[in-house]
Structure 1
C-alpha cells in the first residue's frame, strides 16, 4: 500500500459525537508506523460502521502516524481500544491494556553495519542512522544498543530518517556506518549488495505487524463483541480481519519488547526516589506535586492539587541529555525553598527524570522523584481528577 494513500487517511472519524456531547461512549485510536515499509501497521482503512452497530454505542475513531502521541496514549488509558505496532503494544499491555488480537507474522530486527565495523564495541565514534524516533525500528534498535551497553552519545553522528530502506542506502553510500532494518529486508539487501555490510546484533522473534489492545476495565461483553466482529467480512475487507485472537505466548513476545524499553535510570543525584505510598504521605504533609507531562495528559487526569509545569523535551532520552535543547522555563518558575515531587508517565517517560535532575542541579532545596508516576498511581487506584473538571470548580 502506498504511503501517500495512508497519509490521506491519517485522521478518519467513522462516528462523531453529537453536538454538545461531552464524551464518546467508545474510543479507538490506531497508530500507523510510517517507517514500516512492509505495510504491517499501515494496512487499515477507516473502521466500518458495522463495529459501532455491533457495540450499540457511539464510537469516536482516530488514525494517526504521530507515534509520539500514540505512545503517550498507551500509558494514559484514555482510549477503549488501541491498535498499533509492536512497541506501542508492549507499552500498552504494561499500562492497563489487555492484548486482544494481533497480526500473526513474526520477524527479527537487526543492527546492520559496514564491514569495517567488525563488532559492537567498534560502533563508538561511528555514524548511526535510525528511522523516526518513535518508530518500532528505532525503539528496538535503541534497546539492542542499550543491551550492548552502548548509548547514542558514543556515536559521532545520529541521524533520523523516514525508512530503513533509506538507512541501508546510506550505509551503501558510506553516509552512515550503522542502521536498523527488519532481518529479511536486510538479508535481501545484503544479497543484492555483497561485501558491503554485516549483521551485528538481532532481536529475538517479535511480532511483525500491528496488534489490538483493549482496556482491562472494558466490559467482557464488549471485548467478545470486538473479537466476533474481527472475524466478520467487514473486518476482513477493511484490514482488521488479519488480526487473530491473541494467546499467552503472544504476550510473552511483547513482554520481551517491553524489556528492551528505553527506561530512565533508577536514581537522580540530589533527588530522593519515592513510590506511591510515600508520595501520598508527602502530599498529606503539604508537599506539592509537580506534573511535567503535556497539557493534554494533565487535562485528562492528574493527582489532585498537582502543579502543572510541562517539561518541553527535545533532547535524547539519555542519562547525559543535552539540557540546552530543552525548555525548562516552567521548572525555573517553581519555588526553590519548598520540597517538590516531580512525576510524569512512569519509567519509560523521561520528562520527570530530566526535570528532577535540573531542579537538583539548580539549587532546589528538596527534590523528590516519583519515577513510577501516573501509571502506578492509577494502578493503585489512588485519587485523581481531570484537569478540565478541576478548572471548572
Structure 2
C-alpha cells in the first residue's frame, strides 16, 4: 500500500463515519501502521456520509491501526462491513465474510539480506528488521521465515519499526542483516546500493491494496447496495480510491494469504486436542471450558457454562514465545487437580495455546485443547451465552 492509497483509506474512514447512534451497520476500517508516512494524514478527512446515504441506514464506524485487533474482530464477526489490507481480508474470508471489491493492484514481497547471507537457512543468528508486528509485511515475513524452517527465535535479534522504508535503511547502515520489502522496493534499493544485499525469499503475487468485505449473512439486497456504492465513481471521489468487483480468482489470492498465516501448531505434546463434538461431551461430563479471550469477547459470546481466565499476551505469536512478557495470573489460579478445556478464537489465536503451555508448567494435571475454538463452536450452532 503506497502513501496515496493510505490517504484514500484514511479519507474513507470519515466518509463512512456519518452517525454513531443506534447504528444499523457496524463498519471496521483497518489501516496498516507500517504504511503511515505522514503525521498529517488525519487532517485529510471528509465528513461526507456517502455510504450511510447509499444504504439509507445509520453507520457506526471504528477505525484502528491495531491490525491484530482487526483480525481478532473478523474471527468474532462483530462487524457487518470490513475494509482492510490483504491479511485482514484473508482472515475475514476465512470467517464467513464475502469479498465484494478490492483495489486491483498486486505485489510480491521479499526477504532481502546483506550479501554474506546467500540463502534463507543462513538467516539463523542474523539481525532481522520488521515493520510493526501486525502489519502486512511482518505477517508475510513471518510466513517466509517459517517456510525456511526457522522461527523468530532463530535470529540474534528482531527489531520492529514503524515504517516500511526503515528496514532498507537499517540494511544500508549495517544495523540489520535481513528485512522485508516489496519486490519493487527491494530491486530499487539493490540498484542504488550495489553489492550490499540481495533477495533470498519471495512470495507469490498478493493483493497490496484495500479490500471490502461484508458478512455472508447480509441479504443479497444489502450486499448489492454496498457493492454498487463501493465500486461507484462517488465512492472513488469520496476517498476510497478505485475499487473493482471481486472475482473468484481474487478470492483465491486472499486464501493464499490465509494459508501463510502464522497458525498455532496442530498438537501440543502431552495434551489432548479435541474437536467440537468432543468438547460437547466433555462439558456434559462436568469438565469446565476455560475461555482465555478478552473480557469484551467473553461477555459478547462464550460457550455456555465456560469460565473466564484471560491470557493477556504481549509475547510473540510463536511456539518459542517468552511467557515472562505476558500476564497469565488467571491461568495460574485455576485448580490443579481438575481437568479443563482451554479455548480462544481458533487456530489463528495463540491465547489458548499459550494457556495450555503455561497451565502444564503450573501443574494442571489434565488439559484438553479446543484449538478450533469459538469460531467452530459458533459455526456448528452449539449453545452459547452472553453477559
Identify the TM-score tier after normalising by the shorter chain.
over 0.9
Matched residue, 1:211: 211
Q: Cα 1:319–1:206, aligned 2, differ >3 Å: closer, same or farther? A: same
Unpaired segments of 5 or more residues in structure 2? Answer: none
Pick from 15, 19, 33 the counterpart of residue 16 of structure 1.
19
d(CA) in 2 for partners of 1:106 and 1:355? 38
Normalised by the size of structure 1, how large is the TM-score?
Answer: 0.92
Q: Distance in 1 between matches of 2:143 and 2:294?
A: 25
Counterpart residue number, 1:25: 24
Q: State the SS of the aligned residue for 1:140.
A: helix
1:163 alignment partner, SS class: coil
Q: What is the deviation of 1:300?
A: 2.0
CA distance in 2, matches of 1:232, 1:209: 17
2: CA distance between counterparts of 1:300 and 1:50? 30
For residues 140-151 of structure 1, the aligned pairs below 5 Å read: 140-151=140-151
**Aligned CA distance change for structure 1 residues 11 and 354 (closer, same or farther; 3 Å):** same
Q: Quote the residue 1:188 is aligned against.
A: 188
- 8 Å Cα contact 2:12/2:239 also seen in 1: no
What's the offset of the Cα at 1:75? Answer: 0.8
Equivalent residue number for residue 160 of structure 2: 160
- Describe how 1:67-106 pairs up with structure 2 within 5 A: 67-106=67-106
Relative to structure 1, the CA distance from residue 75 to residue 356 in structure 2 (aligned partners, 3 Å threshold; closer, same or farther) is same
| 1:176 aligns to 2:176 (yes or no) | yes
1:108 and 1:204 in contact (8 A); partners too: yes
- Is the alpha carbon distance of 1:7 and 1:252 closer, same or farther for their aligned partners in structure 2, counting shifts above 3 Å? closer
TM-score under structure 2 length normalisation = 0.93
Q: Structure 1: which 5+ residue stretches go unaligned?
A: none
> How many residues of Structure 1 are paired with residues of Structure 2 in the alignment?
381
Distance 1:7 1:223 in 2: 21
Q: Using the TM superposition, give the Cα deviation of residue 11 of structure 1 relative to its aligned residue in structure 2, in angstroms.
A: 7.2
Match of 2:225 in 1: 225
State the 1:64 CA deviation: 1.8
Counterpart-to-counterpart distance in 1, 2:204 and 2:384:
39
Alignment RMSD (CA, Å)? 2.3
Find the counterpart in structure 1 of residue 307 from structure 2.
307
Please say if residues 8 and 241 of structure 2, whose CA atoms lie closer than 8 Å, have aligned partners that are also in contact.
Answer: no
Distance 2:46 2:97 in 1: 22
**What does residue 335 of structure 1 align with?**
335
Do the aligned residues in 2 keep the contact of 1:271 with 1:369 (CA within 8 Å)?
Answer: yes
Query: In 1, are the aligned partners of 2:10 and 2:31 still within 8 Å (CA)?
Result: no
Structure 2 CA distance for partners of 1:6 and 1:102, relative to 1, 3 Å? closer
